Amino acid sequence: MQPAPCPARHHSPAGKQTATAAVGSVLNRGLNVRHIRFMALGSAIGTGLFYGSASAIQKAGPAVLLAYIIGGAAVFMVMRALGEMAVRHPVSGSFGQYASRYLGPLAGFVTGWTYVFEMAIVAIADVTAFSIYMGFWFPQVERWVWILAIIFFLAALNLLSVKVFGELEFWFSLIKVVAIIAMIAGGAAIIMFGFQAGGSTVAPGLGNLVEHGGFFPFGFEGLLASFAVVMFAFGGIETLGITAGEAANPKRVIPKAVNTVPVRVLLFYVLTLGVLMSLFPWDEIGSNGSPFVQIFSGLGIPAAPHILNAVVITAALSAINSDIFGAGRILFGLSRQGHAPAAFGKVSRHGVPWMTVVMMAGILLVGVVLNAIIPENVFVLIASIATFATVWVWVMILASHVAMKREIARTGLPASEFPSPLWPAASLLTIAFMALVIAVLGAFEDTRIALYVGGAWLALLVLAYRLWVKGDGRRRADLVDETPPLPVVTAARDTESLDTESLGTAVGNSH
């Protein structure tokens, strides 16, 4: 294990320079506003929307729109909490280091490794979805062949500079955003002008939201059940906070990206699925092929299936790419804290932690085995386990934020430049909601395995920490607080200086 820096309550300029050299300057700050903004946009559009939305709809019916609104509001609070910490401490390792700094080294160890576990599980789900999409064009080719190919392709790209990753995510996200907007516009045109949606047996219209068993066809229980899939769809959005360590100007770009979360939720999920369920009865969605393909088919576009398949493949590639990036940077931070082998802290000449990329590629090879053994059941299994890991990481982000806010108030530190709104009520309510989601996983038989796997994983991490983490790894992370001093102090000093100068001038003039 590589030693972690010792904690310090007072941050001197020298200490700041040391910490920056140790953490900030190792990874290249090659992500600009355009990269991070489109990463923020694209993170909301992935496997959870294109592949998982049909499952969520079947659990709750049209009430799934309410689930996405509630879940989106909770995720927004998580992102605001993370954004406040990222602007205050823009470091590689992000929330893993924040948990270590404000909750203790064990919390940092568990949070960081659980996020790596989450990204590994989500990436396996994403490569599974990718292989299914490729099967549309090449049904005779085994799924595992595509998974193997994409692992090596994206691993190679991630070994290049972070700017290459940013550019790739920009174009991937642009394609997804344009496709979603086109689907919303196309669906709205079908509804307004009365075209018959492709494959539908019912005329399109807003009445489809309430005419097939009502808005709550499965009652409140159905709404609760859908949260397992809904929260999986938002999983990985916290990767945005990790970009702070490689953003050219984190204080400017992180707040702008985080504040787009409500718009993304409303546009990409609520509006898209609202249009979708207006075109087709909710109980038909997913039974006649991809509902997104059916939208373009209803507009008379002959190549609709191929266009949409290309789009969802792009979405899957983008998601896998982000999974590799996020897990790699957290592993880099863990190695700096003494919570992972020192090899994960080594970077290439391009400023990329290459060992972490190699490890993620190795983990994804598990997806090859799973898809060869249980191809039909692997997605639901993986999605429920990923939801547990995702929600656990979010809870730790919120808990770290609560601890940070209390320390700021207790020690009289400068107020945050990007404070989380409605503090502390919103943060505490969000933690309670996350606890409800974990309880929901255990309440339903098809997702209960997530609690067993998740509980075993957390117990394993605690044991690993006790056995293998030694020395500086048992100390809290030392993070530089980049919040500027209170302006009122500066103003007072300036006034005092001005008064002294004025007095001197007055005395001089009197002689």
Mean per-residue pLDDT for 206-220? 84
Place of tokens 């369920």: 277
Q: Are 74 and 434 in contact (CB under 8 A)?
A: yes
Residue located via tokens 């789009």: 311
Residue 122 has pLDDT above 80, yes or no: no
**pLDDT (average), residues 196-212:** 70
Q: Tokens 């590994």 appear where?
A: 120
| CA atoms within a 13 Å half-sphere pointing along the CA-CB vector of 423 | 19
Alpha-carbon gap, residue 290 to 90, rounded angstroms: 41
CA-based nearest residue to 128, from 225, 59, 234, 46: 46
CA distance 240 to 242: 5
**Residue 165's pLDDT is what?**
73
Tens digits of residue pLDDT in 37-77: 666 666 566 666 776 777 788 888 899 999 999 998 999 99
Let me know: does 479 contact 103? Beta carbons within 8 Å: no
| Lowest model confidence (mean pLDDT) among 71-80, 134-143, 178-187, 345-354 | 345-354
For 20, which DSSP code? I
Tell me the two tokens of residue 345: 């802290």
Rounded distance between C-alpha atoms, residue 46 and residue 232, angstroms: 10
DSSP symbol at 166: H
* Stated length of the chain: 511
Q: At what angle do helices 354-373 and 378-411 cross, to 10 degrees?
A: 150
Q: What is the pLDDT of residue 510?
A: 44
Cα–Cα distance for residue pair 57/206, rounded to 1 Å: 16
pLDDT, tens digit (0-9, with 9 covering 90-100), for 368-417: 676 666 555 566 677 778 888 889 999 999 999 999 999 999 998 888 88
Q: Specify which residues 31 forms β-bridges with.
A: 247
Determine the pLDDT at residue 253: 78
Under DSSP, the state recorded for 249 is: S
**Helix H segments across 103-161?**
105-137, 143-158
Model pLDDT, residue 457: 93
Q: Are 282 and 61 in contact (CB under 8 A)?
A: yes
Taking each helix axis from N to C end, the angle separating 143-158 and 105-137, rounded to the nearest 10 degrees, works out to 130
Residue type at position 131: S
Determine which of 19-33, 313-327, 328-342, 361-375 has the lowest per-residue pLDDT on average.
Answer: 19-33
Give me the pLDDT at residue 7, please. Answer: 37
**Which tokens is 232 given?**
């999986």
- Indicate whether 465 pLDDT > 70: yes
Q: Cβ(82)–Cβ(305) under 8 Å?
A: no
- pLDDT of 33 > 70? The answer is no
**CA nearest neighbour of 31 among 238, 253, 186:** 253
Rg (CA), the chain: 25
Secondary-structure breakdown of the chain: helix, strand, coil percentages, each rounded to the nearest 5: 75, 0, 25
| Confidence band of 202 (pLDDT split at 50, 70, 90) | low
Read off the pLDDT of each residue in 486-502 and give the average, rounded to a whole number. 49
Residue 403: per-residue pLDDT: 94
Average pLDDT, the chain: 77
Nearest to 143 by CA among 131, 160, 133, 156: 131
pTM of the predicted model as reported, rounded to 2 decimal places: 0.80
Predicted local confidence at residue 110, as pLDDT:
93
User: Is the model's pLDDT at 314 over the cut of 70?
Assistant: yes
What phi, psi does 484 have (nearest 5°)? -65, 160
Q: Tens digit of pLDDT for each residue in 223-270?
A: 988 888 888 888 777 877 776 656 667 788 788 878 877 777 777 788
pLDDT at residue 4, rounded to an integer: 39
Torsion sign over Cα 485, 487, 492, 496 = positive
User: Is residue 473 scored above 90 in pLDDT?
Assistant: no
480: Cβ contacts below 8 Å, ≥ 6 apart: 11, 15, 16, 19, 20, 89, 91
